[in-house]
Structures are given as C-alpha cells and as structure tokens.
Amino acid sequence: MVRVQGPDSAEFLQRICSQDLQALGDEKATWGAFLNNKGRLEARAGIARLGEAFYFDTPRESAEKLAALLDRYHFSEDLSIELLAAWSAIDVLGPEALAFLEQAPDTSRPIGKEGLVIACRRMGITWGRCFGSESALASLPGLLELPLLGDEIAEAHRILRAELRMGVDANERTLAMEAQLEDHISTSKGCYTGQEIVARIHTYGHVNRKLSLLILDSAEVCSPDTSLHEIEGGQPVGRVTSSVPLAESAESLALGYLAEAFLNPGTELRLGGPEGAPVRVCAFSEG
C-alpha cells in the first residue's frame, strides 16, 4: 500500500494518474494506472480515498516502483508519499464477502488510524480487501477466523478478475488499452501523462493484441510466455502469461495475449505448438 496525503494530493495525482481522482468522493474506491508518454504501463493500482489521503493498492513487486514514480513528479506540493510496508493485506473472497464486511462495491472505509477496507469490483466479481497493522486487522469482527483459501484458488480468483501483476502479465512495453484496463482510465478528464496515445486508441480502436481469459485442456503448470497457436496452419497468435490448474479438473485457467482476430469467446487454439493441448478463449464475465 502506498499513501499520498495532504491538501495538494488530489490536484497532484490528477496530473499524472489516468483516472479522474478529483471526482472520486470520500470513502469511495476505483482503479487507476500510471503511464509513460507513449501510453505504456508503468504501474496500476486499486485506489481508495479517505479525505485528503489517497491509498494505492498495488502488487508487492510494484509498490516501491510506484512510490518512486510518485516521488519523481513531486516538487513543491503540500503532500507526503509513504510506502506502508508494515501493513498486511487480507483478501475476503466469495459471494458473501461484501456482506460480511458490510460494505457496498467501490467504497472504502478506515479501520481506526492504521488500516482500511476496500470493496472491490472487477470483471463481474466483487471481493473485499483489508489492509492495516496487525491490531487494526484483528479489530474487524470475525476476519481472522475465516477459513484460509489455498494458493491455487486465490490465483484463479486473480486471473478471473484480470488483476495484472507487473513483470508477469504486463510490463513497461504494455499499452494500457491492450491489458483490459479500460476501467482504470478516464477518457473525459483533463491532461495526464500518456493521454494522447490513450485517446487515439480509444477513438480509433487499434491495438494489435489484447489480454484474454483462457481455458487450457491441461492440468500441468504452464510456463509463462508459452505460445498459443491457431488450429488452421499452426501459426503462433499469442502467448500465455499466467496459469493455474483448476481443482478437481483436468483443465487450467489462464491469462494471455492474443492477436485481434482470435479474441472472440469460443475461439479454439493450441498450446505450445500445432499439436499442443487444446485452448478455448472465454469472456471474462464467465467468471
């Protein structure tokens, strides 16, 4: 978790974040991205606002980079940027997650002075995310008594909601509009870094590939960057970035990038080569 707080925080973030954060109300939550001037992805995050403080929920491997990026643009603004490295995070998953937390989607609330709850919604899935000190998390009734899910279930949930990991599912060469990040980007706010490229793609719709949800007819762990091939002709048309075997099944769930002509749900492909395991393209809403 990275926190930016102070009287100038909203105006400062408005200039560099792809999302319209000045329009984000108190105790609300959204998604946002930070792009370079070529419209490529430097960082992405869930964002919550509590008064003059903005909290950026980003994968652990991206947190220091995001804090450094924010600091790079910070000059004389009256605000502070802090990496909350001592805070822990707990995801609450399942159809009753938000009811358990007594939280509506796309909202946030503080847990005392040392934590917060964010009610997330993405790709038709809702879940809760709780951050804070050990004592703050322990103060949420029943949270620490919930059953722990295995790593495979948690990873399947991440894939279904297309929550990217930088360096795995996206990198500094990834265009924001390739990575299913439309909900991270405002197309109506004022100027921000990378806006020109985003506006051009949004207007004309030209990207050569796009992130897709895949079902692999194989329960083996798939190596990142395994190629995806068309059935007719066997030509490579994309690659897998993340995968996880589905419990009690001979299939796996995966994220991958595909050329534009192969994005339609139901498209059949092959994994790793023309004779590889069958692959089916799905719609994210199937999650």
Give the domain ranges of the chain: 2-160, 209-286
Tokens of 253: 């769930």
CA-based radius of gyration for the chain: 20
Mean local confidence (pLDDT), 132-143: 96
User: pLDDT (tens digit, 9 = 90+) per residue, 238-254?
Assistant: 999 999 998 888 999 99
When pLDDT is averaged across residues 264-274 and rounded to a whole number, the result is 95
Average pLDDT, the chain: 93
Superfamily of domain 2-160: Probable tRNA modification gtpase trme; domain 1 (3.30.1360.120)
Residue 227 in contact with residue 174, Cβ under 8 Å? Answer: no
CATH fold label, 209-286: Elongation Factor Tu (Ef-tu); domain 3 (2.40.30)
**pLDDT for position 287:** 44
- Over pLDDT 70: what percentage of the chain? 99
- If pLDDT is split at 50, 70 and 90, which confidence band does 285 have? confident
The answer to whether 240 touches 231, Cβ cutoff 8 Å, is: no
pLDDT higher than 80, residue 221:
no
- Tell me the C-alpha distance between 4 and 69, whole Å: 12
Q: How much is the pTM? A: 0.93
Q: Which two tokens stand for residue 60?
A: 């652990």
Q: What is the 3-class SS of the chain, one letter each residue?
A: CEEEECCCHHHHHHHHCCCCCCCCCCCEEEEEEEECCCCEEEEEEEEEEECCEEEEECCHHHHHHHHHHHHHHCCCCCCEEEECCCCEEEEECCCCHHHHHCCCCCEEEECCCCEEEEEEEECCEEEEEEEECHHHHHCCCCHHHCCCCCHHHHHHHHHHCCCCCECCCECCCCEHHHCCCHHHCCCCCCCCCCHHHHHHHHHHCCCCEEEEEEEECCCCCCCCCCEEEECCCCCEEEEEEEEEECCCCCCEEEEEEEEHHHCCCCCEEEECCCCCCEEEEECHHHC
Residue carrying the six token digits 């595909």:
258
Q: What is the rounded CA–CA span in Å between residue 199 and residue 180?
A: 15
Better-predicted residue by pLDDT, 176 or 4: 4
pLDDT bracket for residue 57 (50, 70, 90): very high
Distance CA 127, CA 123 (A): 11
Say how far apart CA 108 and CA 118 lie, in whole Å: 4
| Percent of the chain surpassing pLDDT 90 | 82
Provide the pLDDT confidence category of residue 200 given band limits of 50, 70 and 90. Answer: confident
At residue 187, the pLDDT reads: 84
Apex 19 CA angle, 120 and 177, nearest 5: 90
141, 125 in Cβ contact below 8 A? no
Q: What is the pLDDT of residues 31-55, one digit of tens each?
A: 999 999 888 999 999 999 999 999 9
- Name the nearest CA neighbour of 213 among 242, 174, 172, 177: 242
| 221 compared with 254, residue with greater pLDDT | 254
